[in-house]
Chains A and B, each alone.
Chain A
Amino acid sequence: MGGSGSRLSKELLAEYQDLTFLTKQEIVQAHRRFSELLPRDKQNVEDSLRERVSFEDILSIPELKANPFKERICKVFSTAPSRDSLSFEDFLDLLSVFSDTATPDIKSHYAFRIFDFDDDGTLDREDLCRLVNCLTGEGEDTQLSASEMKQLIDNILEESDIDRDGTINLSEFQHVISRSPDFVSSFKIVL
């Protein structure tokens, strides 16, 4: 498969390096992995930049397969009108935010969007409930009971809802996440 047909041009690479946090090798590898998800006849450079990959195919890559937030991640980064597929540039955006060198600000920004299950710009009780359920899994012994869930969410809102309106908005989220030194090192996906 080698040859110039499957390689990105130098200008394009430089542009991507400018617009994302990825290094050249990471961009090239991302392109290779993305092309593998496309159908055989569309794996050349021009088509790979235009085509979109459906969610089922993207969610099959090992880095995302076991992630409880995989659907949310794809939905947040998708720029398709119906938000059900990812283009190569969306994929690069995804990897850029999850890369090693991304700033904590942009990571927390996108984390907020991923956790906002109903896409209304704030994290309310419903969102937090779904978040905790994603984290603890579906098993009977791991799921929290209703009273435990209520207590947990009450504590979370008590700590992070500064303006006491019952929801967590972006600034409050970023403020509370800055107190966690764990966040930047765990919010990483590397191909």
Chain B
Amino acid sequence: MLHQWSAQSGQTPREPGHLPESEDLWEQEMEWLRASREPLRSLPYAMMDKRLIRKMREPEGMQMTRWQCWQQKQQTMGQRLGEVARRLAWGFGLWKGALYEIGGLFGSGIRSYFTFLRFLLLLNLLTVLLTASFVLVPLAWLHTQGPGPTLNFTLQCPGSHQAQTYIPRFHNQLWNVLTGRAFNNTYLFYGAYWAGPESSSAYSIRLAYLLCPLACLLLCFCGILRRMMKGFLRRPGLGQDYGVPLSAKVFSSWDFCIHLRDAATIKKHEISNEFKVYLEECRRRQQVQQDTPTQRACRLLSYLRVNLLNACLVAGGISAIFWATKYSQDNKEESLFVVLQYLPPGVISLVNFLGPLLFMFLVQLESYPPSIEVNLILIWCVVLKLASLGMFSFSLGQTMLCIGRNKTSCETYGYNACDYQCWENSVGEELYKLIIFNFLLTVAFAFLVTLPRRLLVERFSGRFWTWLGREEFLVPKNVLDIVAGQTVTWMGLFYCPLLPLFQSIFLFLTFYIKKYTLLRNCRTPPRLFRASSSTFFFQLVLLLGLLLAAVPLGFVVSSTHSSWDCGLFTNYSAPWQVVQELVALRLPLSGQRALQYLSSHAFGLPLLWLLSHILTVCIAQSQANARAIHVLRKQLVWQVQEKWRLVEELSRLLQEPGSSESLIPDSPRFRASHPRFSGPGFWSPGSPGPESPARDPSTRTPPWLSSSYPGSRDSPGPRFRFPSGTEL
């Protein structure tokens, strides 16, 4: 037993034929275990062995000094705090049971969608908290209630657009809520905020209102990046291809979360499909390499053709959105106002519904390997979704701020004051309508399409119904939907500060609706969707959405003219002017000069140079590492071959006459030619020769590894034990 051995430390029992090397290695292992600071829980040993190691590290006779006691207590407390913090970061264990159930039934690929939902919910709640604490609470505290919108300016407005004050009101309260008119003068929209001049109060509401969206976006950016990097490759393959190798996929393909027999069967089917598809692609790739140049050119042309067609589809889609938005804004006073209110969101949803179907149809006309097919369709769906949102915000900007076109009504005030008394409110309303429409569409699809489909498929059994089947729960499509909603929320942070609150409520309800749909009305898609690559993909698309939302925000904050008579920035040429004014007002002269220096070229250019220098050094370092790895691999292969060559030489020597005496266990020749021993007494690991898979017992050598296995595994007896002489 290890216990007995350590008790007699220093007196190694001598057994006949005992190899001195095994003792040294055994001692080395024990010494390493004793001296290492690695926490016990991460050592790959059984519980009783860990206890023994712990006893070895701190012999009982030793008195622990006060310092060590305190250190240990701090360590345990630190660990506990870390556990608690981790639990909080995982969302207070919100929906833990539901996620567990979904993972058990459908695997971690689909569960990743729901964890992503939870992550977005937390982001939105955090945003609401920030906004409330920095803007709303001080506003309520200071009790500033400004004058209402004043109309003491005259405009020459072309045409019959008299009606700055005329806003069509519906007597239907529901419509008012759905279009945002009911909330027009509440803190939901930009227009209701008001603050006195900057010099009058110590706390600048304007600065808080300006910096809140930027801070929220920055926080979200950091959070997403951190989550992305956590799931990312721990040690990226330097100098190798960046994909996940097949062996890694094979070893990590089983999902240990599954605990239902049916789900396990489905998973096995999926894995089998994946392997078969992979092998098919390998064969295809080999075939492709034997293609003539003409065939290669043909393939390239067809690839270009498909992508060109898809690009045309995207262009068509987003121009439809542009037209729809313009039409809806230009015809605000029409009698079909009700329908036109929701025309832009309707067109966006239609485009995003038809687009993927057409992409799939076009891509499947060519016969691409499945992985390329899936990736291509996915990329184009993402492009379509984000482009449609970008075009929507651009067309809003064009109507309200005359970006990209010259219109006389924008010249006087920098925005289209004739049509929009408070353009920020209008933008806020459009985004609000978009979010509401998205949510209503989700609910409608769940209850008016998927549910009836399931009922009909169960009821009837014709060929059509069996072909139709239940709806598949497509993770990418659902993820793109919620990412689009989140992008719109981020776009609206400046115009509609409480929009994240609505988004949180909708996300919360979406979780339960999607869970119900998945568990009752859907079936799993036949194609495997891996949890981690999907997580990375989700975070990436979310990041793109965030960048898409940040660009208009930056533009608006820095260069557009705010509304003349509503909101916080009435007297500034651009909202960012507030910062300059406050800097001039509040900061001492030295601070102002420091800030001026930091934002000038004299600071920026050297910083840029330094950063590019660091980047160059990093790249050069990584290239050097890649070369070193290559050389080391070759060296390793050479060394193993050399080892086997030596072993073969030795076994050849054994065959020579006069080798009978070397069979005596004690003779040095025996020991030299039978280098067989095991580690701290466990199963003798072997590695067969390079060519012959047949196991030759006389040529076994232990792969001595620092993290070797403990304990005896193939013979009964005490756990750690010496190799006895009879084994050799």
Which residue numbers of A lie inside 8 Å of B, CB to CB?
Answer: 14, 18-21, 23, 62-69, 77, 79, 81-83, 89-90, 92-93, 96, 98, 101-106, 109-111, 113, 115, 119-122, 124-125, 131-132, 134-137, 139, 141-144, 148, 151-152, 155-156, 159-160, 162-171, 173, 176-183, 185-190
Contact = CB atoms under 8 A, between A and B. Distances in A.
Contact of A188 (B54, B83, B257, B279): B257
Contacts of A169: 685, 687, 703, 705
B263 A152 contact: no
B254 A135 contact: yes
Contacts of A124: 688, 693
Contact of B247 (A105, A143, A148, A159): A159
B707 interface: yes
A170 B693 CA distance: 18
A11 B275 CA distance: 49
B69 interface: no
B492 to A, nearest CB: 33
A177 B278 CA distance: 18
A93 B244 CA distance: 30
Contact of B234 (A92, A104, A122, A134): A104
**Centre residue among B248, B253, B276 by max chain A CB count within 10 A:** B248
A179 B83 CA distance: 27
Contacts of A120: 683-686
Given A136-B268, A182-B532, A186-B256, A96 B276 contact: no
Given A160-B245, A163-B640, A180-B252, A89 B44 contact: no
A21 B41 contact: yes
Contacts of B54: 19
A125 to B, nearest CB: 6
Contacts of A156: 246-247, 250
A180 B268 contact: no
A179 B640 contact: no
Contact of B254 (A69, A103, A142, A148): A69
A36 B258 CA distance: 22
B237 interface: yes
B636 A148 contact: no
B269 A137 contact: yes
B245 A148 contact: no
B272 A143 contact: yes
B250 to A, nearest CB: 6
Interface of B: 40-44, 46-48, 50-51, 54, 76, 83, 86, 100, 108, 231-235, 237, 244-261, 263-265, 268-269, 271-272, 275-276, 278-279, 282, 530-533, 536, 633, 636-637, 639-641, 644, 683-691, 693, 702-703, 705, 707, 709, 711, 713-714, 716-717, 719
Contacts of B275: 132, 136, 144, 148, 152
Nearest to A163: B640
Contacts, number: 238
B685 A181 contact: no
A68 B683 contact: no
B636 to A, nearest CB: 5
Given A121-B686, A160-B245, A183 B46 contact: no
Nearest to A75: B713
Contacts of B234: 104, 178, 181
A15 B633 CA distance: 43
A141 B270 CA distance: 12
A125 B40 contact: no
Contacts of B250: 131-132, 135, 152, 156
Contact of A115 (B237, B251, B260, B263): B251
A93 B48 CA distance: 10
Contacts of A66: 258-261, 263-264
B277 to A, nearest CB: 11
A160 B259 contact: no
Nearest to A134: B254
B716 to A, nearest CB: 4
Nearest to A142: B272
Contact of B252 (A103, A134, A171, A177): A177
20 contacts: A64-B259, A68-B264, A77-B46, A79-B46, A81-B716, A110-B44, A113-B709, A120-B685, A136-B271, A160-B245, A162-B637, A165-B689, A167-B687, A170-B705, A180-B252, A180-B532, A181-B244, A183-B252, A186-B256, A186-B257
Given A20-B47, A67-B256, A190-B257, 13 more contacts: A66-B264, A67-B259, A109-B44, A137-B269, A151-B279, A152-B275, A156-B250, A170-B703, A170-B705, A177-B251, A178-B234, A182-B244, A189-B257
Contacts of A170: 703, 705, 707
Contacts of A185: 108, 231, 531-532
A166 B44 contact: no
Contacts of B532: 180-182, 185
A148 B279 contact: yes
Contacts of B248: 176-177, 179-180, 182-183
A92 to B, nearest CB: 7
Closest 3 CB pairs of A and B: A121-B685, A137-B268, A180-B248
Contacts of B687: 122, 165, 167, 169
Nearest to B707: A109
A166 B693 contact: yes
A5 B599 CA distance: 70
A18 B235 CA distance: 29
Nearest to B240: A179
A44 B685 CA distance: 40
B92 to A, nearest CB: 14
A35 B247 CA distance: 39
Contacts of A81: 716-717
A168 B47 CA distance: 27
Contacts of A21: 41-42
A79 B46 CA distance: 8
B100 A190 contact: yes
B279 A152 contact: yes
B167 to A, nearest CB: 52
Contacts of A19: 40-41, 47, 50-51, 54
Contact of B282 (A64, A82, A151, A183): A151
A89 B48 contact: yes
Contact of A89 (B47, B83, B636, B719): B47
A126 to B, nearest CB: 8
**Centre residue among A64, A104, A182 by max chain B CB count within 10 A:** A182
A12 B644 CA distance: 50
Contacts of B719: 79
B683 A119 contact: yes
Contacts of B233: 178-179, 181
A63 to B, nearest CB: 5
